[in-house]
Structure formats: structure tokens, C-alpha cells
Amino acid sequence: MRAHLITYGCQMNEYDTHLVQSQLVSFGADIVESVDEADFVLINTCAVRGKPVEKVRSVLGKLRKAKEHRPLVVGMMGCLAQLEEGQQMARKFGVDVLLGPGSLLDIGKALETNDRFWGLAFKDELHDHIPPPPTGKLQAHLTIMRGCDHHCTYCIVPTTRGPQVSRHPDDILRELDTLLAAGVQEVTLLGQNVNAYGVDGGARLGGYPSFANLLRLVGQSGVRRIKFTTSHPMNFTEDVAATMAETPAVCEYVHLPVQSGSSRVLRRMAREYTREKYLAHIADIRKHMPDVVLATDIIVGFPGETEEDFQETLSLYDEVGYDSAYMFAYSARPGTPSYKHFDDLPREVKTERLSRLIAKQKDWSARKNAGKIGTVQEVLLRGDAHDANFLEGHTRGNHPTVVPKVMGITGAGIYQVRINHATPHVMYGKLLDAQGNELPELPKHNPEAAALSAPLAMA
């Protein structure tokens, strides 16, 4: 079998794709780089917004045409596969394998029968499965929980991924050990609401640490860098911020979705906190980490949002001064309470407000990044940038960073970088040696550059 996997959506979907890919490899499948090479194509879908759903629809249409000319098995997995909308789409486009987010380990059974497979039941054994570590990568995702016990009116996740199920800490640490043994240096802990880890259905689980204590356990493993996503402000506690400050491996980066700066809109979203409570969390975070890098999610144009409400979002952005944000115009999703009970705003209103918010975000990002000029940042370099004379990576604060290649360093690793230029979206710098001196760049467009290089630790 030659398999090709396509992923849409969040980091949780990326992790699930890796999990299923590892299953396919264990069955003897070859993972190929393109659809044209494959006899099995599996799409990991997202249903949170309308755009990724339309992308899946487009890909399925192309695959249906391809099936007319050659033998091809097509599969869908992920959140969209759990919904009636996705199942109707699967029937329309002749999808052969359909797996919900809780049935990923049934991929072997589905392919063995080679029949349409509607395996949509949630299965607890998924949480016990430890996939092999990624090959040749310094970064990895590590799922600590699945599902969500909150019911935000715009969100389809509780329907697609079910209620919150925290993963046992022993399984988390066992998987972490495999990642470290494979050379992983940065781990991102994943969950729909990591701050609620160990409290499923509103009750603390026996033998499960709090999220703050889990961070401490992971920090004692020897991993170089720890990040986590995503956080729900309703469950954020000050001890998490204190633990981050006290645990050297935990990066000074917090992604805390606010969604709206208006308490009235937050009530309509059923977010369970107010603007004032959210800002109190920001104050707690900055008390323990004054130089923290803050990111957020914001939905613009939620049903009923007035211009006054939107102005409150703009003013909150200024009050917090985010380094970056994921910003979206509200996308009505069938099956959510907001889709059923609220009237959508006109598209042009949402688009215009989004453009204003993006302009504000760009201004703040420019100011924040400019403030890093002249500083020395720890950067995890992943490999070549678009220009092969440069390497790309990111700081502990998740800032995309580009550096020129130097003698001895042309690949992945964690290094010290002095920032000398910045745009709203990217920082540029120079690699430093152990004494803090800038290393000389390799000659540009040098075809011998790779041959001149050898591993050299600079961090």
C-alpha cells in the first residue's frame, strides 16, 4: 500500500495524522509525498470553520475524478467525519473509509475489509496508544487530553470530539520518554483545554496531577523547551503562571484565547468569563513573567455583535498588547447553538471589522518585534528557509526567525541569535558563538555549503 495523508485544522489534527500514519507504517504501508503516487489517500478534516470544510469538498471532488481512471481508496477522518454534514459529503463523493476522532486505531480494520466503514464510536483505548516519535525532528506534539466539557455556542468540538477525557500521566510521560530518546528538544502539550487537565466532567480524577503539576513533571524530564495549547480562560489559574516562571524548560509564551473584548458578546458565546476576569488573568501572568509573549484567538462579527462591542475588542487588544493573534470572521457551523438560535451578521460587516482588527494586530506585532532588536534570543532552527542561503526557526516566544547560514551550522538545532531586524511577522538575526560573537556567513549561492558543514552545538 502507498498512502498519502492530507491534514487540515489544528495541532491536534497534526498529532492524530502522525498517530494514524504510524499505524499505517506498522501495517507495511509506504508513505508517499503526493496523491498521484498513492493508492490510498486519507484526509484529516476540520469542522471548526467553513473554509476547511470547503477545502475538503474540493479535494474530494478531485479524488472522485481520479478514481474514474485508476484504483484508489479514499478515506476521511477527523471532526468533519463525525458530523452528518461530513457523512453526507462522504456518500456524495464515494469515500471508502470514514473514521471519527475517537476511532483512529480502527484504520487497520477499515482497510482490511476494504469496505465503507462508519467507525464513529469514541474509544478509550485511543488514550493509551503511544505512537512512535517523529523521525529527524526537534519538535513534537504530545496529546494530554481529548474532547471538551465546555459548550461555547459557536464551537463544534464537543460534538465531534466528545466530552473531556484526560490522558493518564504515566502514559504522557512514557510517550515523552520516547520523544526525548528520538532527539526531540521542544514538546507542545495539546488539548482542547489544557488548564482543565485532570478534571473531567467537573470532578478531579484520582492519581492525576493538576495542569501546573503536570508542567513540573514534564519540566523534570530533561526536555529543553515546553509549550502548550490551548487554554480556556475559565480554567486558567495563577499557579500555572507561577509554575511557568519557576520551570526553566517552560517557554515564556501563553496562548490565551479571548474571542471577544465585550462581556455581552462573551455571554452570548457562553465563554463563562467576563472581560474583567480575562484581564485579571493577564495581570497574574505578567506578575510572574513580565516579559511574557502573549497570543490570542478572536472571533469578529459574532451574531449580535454591535459596533460598540467590536470597539471593546479593539480596546482590549490595546490594553493587553498582544504579540500575535489568530483572527477570524465568525463562521456559522451547523450543529452549534449559535447556528440554530442566532442570526448571522452580513458578510461585508464581518469582513470590514476583521480588516480593522488585522491592521491593529499588525501594528502591535511590529512594535513588539521591533522591541526585540538588539536582544539575544534562543532560536530552534528547523532547516532551510525559502531562500536556501538562510535557515528558519522560532524563538521561545514563538516568533518566526530567519538567519543566514554559517560555517558548521546549516541544519536543525537550538542556537543563540542576535536579532538585528524585524517586520510584523518575522524577525531576522545572526547566529552567535559560545562567546556571543556573530559567526561569519557562508558565501551566498555556494553549492559546496552543505559539504562544508558539520554538527556544531552553540546553545
> What residue ranges in 250-323 does DSSP mark as E strands?
253-255, 293-300
> Any binding-site annotation on 155?
yes
Count of CB atoms situated within 10 Å of the CB of 444: 12
Cα within 13 Å of Cα(21), Cβ side = 20
Give the separation between CA 152 and CA 145, rounded to whole angstroms. 18
Tell whether omega for the bond before 7 is within 30 degrees of 0, i.e. cis.
Answer: no
Q: Does 79 belong to an annotated binding site?
A: yes
Return the closest-CA partner of residue 353 out of 301, 298, 297.
Answer: 301
Strands 376-384 and 413-422: antiparallel
What CA–CA distance (Å, rounded) separates 311 from 264? 13
Dist. CA 126–CA 107, nearest whole Å: 12
Orientation angle between helical segments 307-320 and 347-370, nearest 10 degrees: 10
List of E strands, 109-163: 117-119, 139-143, 145-146
Q: Is 152 known to sit in a ligand binding site?
A: yes
Report d(CA 30, CA 173) in Å as an integer: 29
Phi (first) and psi of residue 229, to 5 degrees: -160, 140
CB under 8 Å to 311, separation ≥6 — which residues?
none
Supply the DSSP string of 133-176, one letter for each residue. Answer: PPTT-SEEEEE-EES-S---TT--HHHHH-S-EEPPHHHHHHHH
DSSP state, residue 407 = T
DSSP letter assigned to residue 454: -
CB contact burial 126-155 (16+ within 10 A = b; e otherwise): bbeeebbbbeebbbbbbbbbbbbbbebbbb
Beta strands in 8-163 (DSSP E): 30-31, 40-45, 73-78, 97-99, 117-119, 139-143, 145-146
Measured CA to CA, the distance from residue 27 to residue 331 in angstroms comes to 39
Q: Binding residue per annotation — 46?
A: yes
For the annotated binding site for [4Fe-4S] cluster, the residues are 10, 46, 79, 148, 152, 155
Residue list, annotated binding site: 10, 46, 79, 148, 152, 155
